[in-house]
Structure 1
């Protein structure tokens, strides 16, 4: 008869409970974060469809360009402090100083962006209306980056509360925008409601956070050195984020300058679908990032890397093949998706969507790669890969857009993404391990079949 020593069994039981709790918390966190993104993309997508069917193609192009430039500022303001902020919250017992430090760094960053945006539009805007609309949309970035406590919830594996708050705000403002259009409002009123929505959502998250913090202070004035130190640590990711957005949006900007609002409208329809493909894996990986960090920490304590590498490989496998499934569906159904959603006048956008769908698997793997970079602390790798993609995107756009128009921009965007996500990892010895894991992901179905066959052979 076997006996169990309670003194040794108790730590094992506690460890198992902790592991189960982390696994369940990471899954729940990922589900809620993804649900929030799904709902947000649903509201944005439905509004885009309504606007495309309500406005002229040229007006829809101007609106899409304004929203894209605002999205560029938001992405830059948030880029450097996602995974890094979650890590800082996980290590700190005083969330108040972390929260205020994040807000200060973010607001300063978007203030610089806003000034640059005004200068850029002053030299490239084709009309005063376009300039004012983009400037107005740019104000929204100051509200969006106030929601720093959302990352505290992510670190606590409790993404449900901010997700519910943001979904409620997005639903309410979607109804208001539809009502405004019904009453005859134009693009300016819709952009004003967009600005109000982002400020309202961030304030809702701040109020929830203030109520839910029980350990330490909710808000505390940070020391100047803490803000500077956080900015220095986030700077590589900030520079990387700028490059990533150049990579993602250079095509749209070049199309606006060389082709005009009609070309922007066609490209924006395709890009709206691609934004959905990019946002979902990023949301899920951000939410599950604490569990990945925990696996790495436990492996380091035991002197190994098996659990961390296994979780990372599983993430690459899932991301790649989910991306392949979506890419195939988009490629085959692009005409139906575009014409059904936006109308026959946007049928030319289907060709752009087919081209850009090739990049979807790499977009999905990019969400895993970005978290590996943060977990390993190799932040300058992120800078290198995104700037490679940015330079490639701009160069290819300048080469292809004059001859091929928006089609050339679609090819430039796709090629730059493949280069910055996958091919780049083969250029440095420090990234070879993750290049191997991404390459192994292409063989995931074969590996799975061989593993199942092997396990069946050893069964008695």
Structure 2
């Protein structure tokens, strides 16, 4: 072994490399953003397990339905402004106007959603209690979208502070919910605490942001033109986000209408696991997005394209194979995961989890694809792919759910995800480059083995 190989194999050298990697802004940002998501999903998952073991199956189904519709509103309110807002913060010297513009656009969006939701529930709710519970949960959307300054931290590659603030708030309210259940409180109190938690988390981020802004004003009244411009720029991704959420949640809504709360409870157990698979790669890619933009900018300035293309390919490779690894684990351990966590009453959900696990690799690649769309400015591509998935989900649900119930809904959501993430990219010349990169990702292990073998032959 030569001295270079010996040094590379040295444990101290490996530790230094890990330390340097953690100090890198993009990596550290991604780690903190992912840690926040892990903690949030951990608290939500544990609470779901406790509720599933405490409540009757039908009551847990109603609770899951209410939380899903609230989550739908939150996702729509945040859609379109993740990467776009980070880019706006990076380019602006006046963070206050950007922050207030984002908040105005978000709050207006969720206000429209809230009104539409009340109308929808008025025509589909099976009881007054169900209507009121969903309406209460939906109030949370107004609090969640106030955390616009979190994206200011992301743009500065400093996700640590808002992540810590939100983790602390989530831990406190998780303890409060557990205490409420121990004291015998019902679902309504748990939902009310959920609403308070989202408002408290956003307020914590706003307070941190107000203290950390040293250049420019933290809050400033934006001009109407700025708000309208931000809304126009985000509208393609907003429309796309609505379609994405229809794609993700239409199955559960159709199950509620055609099957009932028990079917929703089974589907919700499977979907809770899938939410983890969707949130983690999205959090990491949002946090590392500034580094991807920087690679693209450097290539554009130098007239090249290799650094940006290579970073994108590595992202697709890692996303796909991480998704495959998780999909295999979920498929093999579905029964153990469901029965151990939620109880024997939910064993039928294991079959749904196996079906939905097939979509995990495509969920992971979707997080990379969405950031490529923003970086390239091809926002209407996002609209097209998500509406394709939404139409496919609704059509397949209406076709399969009446005959196969929740199992049909699981197949519908899985098939639509494959269509909207992978197959869609072959339909347009503008998306062929990423179609090729996603296809190459399937061969990433072979390519790396061949590359390593080639380098070893050169050294010898």
| TM-score, with structure 1 as normaliser | 0.95
1:284-323 equivalences in 2 (<5 Å): 284-323=284-323
Aligned counterpart, 1:395 = 395
SS at match of 1:334: helix
Aligned counterpart, 2:239 = 239
Aligned counterpart, 2:17 = none
TM-fit CA distance, 1:457: 1.1
* Partner Cα separation in structure 2 for residue 447 and residue 117 of structure 1: 49
TM-fit CA distance, 1:263: 0.1
1:13-412 equivalences in 2 (<5 Å): 24-412=24-412
Partner deviation per Cα, 1:166-208 (whole Å, 9 max, x = no partner): 0000000000000000000000000000000000000000000
Q: Is the 8 A contact 1:143 1:202 kept in 2?
A: yes
Q: Is the 8 A contact 1:22 1:291 kept in 2?
A: no
Aligned counterpart, 1:5 = none
* Partner Cα separation in structure 2 for residue 47 and residue 130 of structure 1: 20
TM-fit CA distance, 1:23: 7.8
Partner deviation per Cα, 1:97-130 (whole Å, 9 max, x = no partner): 0000000000000000000000000000011010
Q: Is the 8 A contact 2:80 2:241 kept in 1?
A: yes
Partner deviation per Cα, 1:139-191 (whole Å, 9 max, x = no partner): 00000000000000000000000000000000000000000000000000000
Aligned counterpart, 1:439 = 439
Q: Is the 8 A contact 1:150 1:162 kept in 2?
A: yes
Aligned counterpart, 1:454 = 454
Q: Is the 8 A contact 1:177 1:190 kept in 2?
A: yes
Q: 1:179 to 1:411 in 2, by over 3 A?
A: same
* Partner Cα separation in structure 2 for residue 154 and residue 165 of structure 1: 14
Equivalent residues, number = 441
TM-fit CA distance, 1:277: 0.3
* Partner Cα separation in structure 1 for residue 184 and residue 149 of structure 2: 37
SS at match of 1:146: coil
SS at match of 2:139: helix
Is 1:430 the counterpart of 2:430 in the alignment? yes
TM-fit CA distance, 1:22: 11
Q: Is the 8 A contact 2:22 2:28 kept in 1?
A: no
SS at match of 2:214: coil
Partner deviation per Cα, 1:376-401 (whole Å, 9 max, x = no partner): 00000000000000000000000000
Q: Is the 8 A contact 1:23 1:291 kept in 2?
A: no
**RMSD across aligned C-alpha pairs, in angstroms?**
0.9
Structure 1 unmatched ranges of 5 or more: 1-19
* Partner Cα separation in structure 1 for residue 128 and residue 338 of structure 2: 31
Partner deviation per Cα, 1:44-97 (whole Å, 9 max, x = no partner): 000000000000000000000000000000000001100000000000010000
Aligned counterpart, 1:12 = none
Q: Is the 8 A contact 1:426 1:432 kept in 2?
A: yes
Q: Is the 8 A contact 2:30 2:288 kept in 1?
A: yes
TM-fit CA distance, 1:266: 0.1
* Partner Cα separation in structure 2 for residue 285 and residue 264 of structure 1: 30
Q: 1:349 to 1:99 in 2, by over 3 A?
A: same
| TM-score, with structure 2 as normaliser | 0.95
* Partner Cα separation in structure 2 for residue 414 and residue 293 of structure 1: 31
Q: Is the 8 A contact 1:251 1:409 kept in 2?
A: yes
Structure 1 runs of 4+ off > 3 angstroms?
Answer: 20-23
* Partner Cα separation in structure 1 for residue 127 and residue 380 of structure 2: 39
Aligned counterpart, 1:11 = none
TM-fit CA distance, 1:262: 0.1
TM-fit CA distance, 1:21: 9.4
* Partner Cα separation in structure 1 for residue 187 and residue 87 of structure 2: 40
Q: Is the 8 A contact 1:121 1:131 kept in 2?
A: yes
